[in-house]
Amino acid sequence: METTDKVHKTGWFQRVFVNRNIFNLWVGQIISQSGDSIFEIGLLWLLLELTGSNAITGMVAMSAYLPTLMFGLFSGALVDRFDRRRLMLFSDAIRAVIILFIPLLYWLDGLNGLMLGIITFILASFNSLFNPARDALVGQLIKPEEQLAANSMIQTSWQYAMFIGPAVAGILLAIVGEVHLISLDALTFLASFYFIYKIKTNKTGASMRLKNLPLEFKASWKDMIEGLGYVKKDRRIGALLLFTAVDNFVLMGPAIIGAPIFVREILKEDASSYAFVQVAYAVGMVLGTILLRRFGGALRKSQLIQWGVILDGITFVPLFWVTSFSEMFITITIHAMAIPMIIVARPNIILTIVPSEMQGRVFSLMSVCVFGLTALSIALTGIIAEIIPMNVIYLVIGIIAASTGTFGWFIKEFRELK
């Protein structure tokens, strides 16, 4: 198995980027996820402008996360059966084409909230395949001792993407508008395709040949049931999944759809201000990653997640008193510093205790907990925001989320994760 580039086997390149394969995956993800952040900014603001309703915006935005809840388990079975790199290439190619339907429908005067929801749902369906394939592929590209460094890069690549994407969006929004801003995401998927194509690794799973597909899909259903049985037996993974599900249900809706609503209704700012609020997330997560790589080894992975959730929740509370863009920027920056503690520790735990042949299914279950519960949280937040001001919502959910972080101490299997 090739895990290091011959030219850069030692020295600064390996210390910073782990190896050439991880470097290619990291660069591709930064570019692709920069496009995703641009897409999310354009989509949410466009929905608010088209519908004028927080509830409808929340329901449509939910379609970006719902497919993982619906298809995530089966996607994980496919990831463990087919070549992971090829699945990622396939997903990127399809997403690059699908997203171009938004400017096409706009040009044909057929773009509305329903069509945006349908297109977003299709895109997210391929996300539900791509994400567990990416996370499981990392294990093929590294040595065991490289886990923390590799996952810190891959899982936090979206930090840098959230700096690049929103900055680009903030500049271009006033020039090209929300619709054509979304079109840029197609180019980023093609860039991701290129860098994934450059990855060199041994093939895993069956070849994606048409004659094999019926039998492989049928076998994947059996694999899915096997994966559920594995999680049921391993209470450590079950506790991790439960903890993740509760945290994402409480926090992610207010974090995602709450930001544009807060900027629009509380601060009375425009879409460019919302884009630059996302930059604050990136700044905070970069700072958090630096601190994690410096001091994270002193804590168990379970402790990292618990403290990350507590800080993630409690740092939302000050938004109740925020009345200006600068205050929001500072508050979100501090809030985002806790996020790497959560998103880096989770895959490290899975790669450490789950056999390689089961990792795709476990990562897909994790995606169901993250994105599936995020979908429900977004829809519920949109409905509640029609009745309760967003700053009050932030106060309440911040306190609730911080309290959920303490639950891990009462679950023995989770508490003892190293």
pLDDT band at residue 333 under the 50/70/90 scheme: very high
| Mean predicted confidence (pLDDT) in 3-32 | 67
Which has more confidence, 233 or 193?
A: 193
State the Cα–Cα distance between residues 116 and 302, nearest whole angstrom: 39
- Residue 213: pLDDT over 60: no
> Which residues make beta-bridge pairs with 206?
82
pLDDT band at residue 2 under the 50/70/90 scheme: very low
| Mean predicted confidence (pLDDT) in 329-334 | 95
pLDDT of residue 20: 84
State the Cα–Cα distance between residues 102 and 61, nearest whole angstrom: 15
State the Cα–Cα distance between residues 126 and 129, nearest whole angstrom: 5
State how far Cα 82 lies from the chain centre. 22
pLDDT band at residue 238 under the 50/70/90 scheme: confident
Task: Give tens-digit pLDDT for 34-77.
Answer: 888 778 777 887 788 777 888 888 888 888 888 877 887 777 77
Question: Coil, strand or helix: which one is 201?
Answer: coil
pTM listed for this prediction: 0.69
State the Cα–Cα distance between residues 347 and 360, nearest whole angstrom: 11
Task: Give tens-digit pLDDT for 105-132.
Answer: 888 888 787 888 888 899 888 888 888 8
Q: ∠198-21-18 over CA atoms, to 5°?
A: 155
Name the average pLDDT for the chain.
80
Q: Is the dihedral of CA 365, 383, 44, 271 positive or negative?
A: negative
Would you list the domain boundaries of the chain?
12-201+215-415
12-201+215-415 CATH fold? Growth Hormone; Chain: A; (1.20.1250)
pLDDT of residue 175: 73
Helices 339-353 and 113-141 pack at an angle, to 10 degrees, of 50
State the Cα–Cα distance between residues 190 and 91, nearest whole angstrom: 10
Task: Give tens-digit pLDDT for 81-96.
Answer: 778 888 899 999 999 9
Give the side-chain half-sphere CA count within 13 A for 325.
15
pLDDT more than 90, % of the chain: 17
> Which residues make beta-bridge pairs with 82?
206
Which has more confidence, 309 or 201?
A: 309
Which has more confidence, 246 or 225?
A: 246
Q: Give the chain's end-to-end CA distance (angstroms, integer).
A: 27
Are residues 397 and 258 in contact, defined by beta-carbon separation less than 8 angstroms?
no
Task: Give tens-digit pLDDT for 266-297.
Answer: 999 987 788 888 788 888 888 888 888 777 67
- Residue 262: pLDDT over 90: yes
Task: Give tens-digit pLDDT for 131-178.
Answer: 888 878 887 787 766 666 676 677 667 667 766 777 777 777 767 767
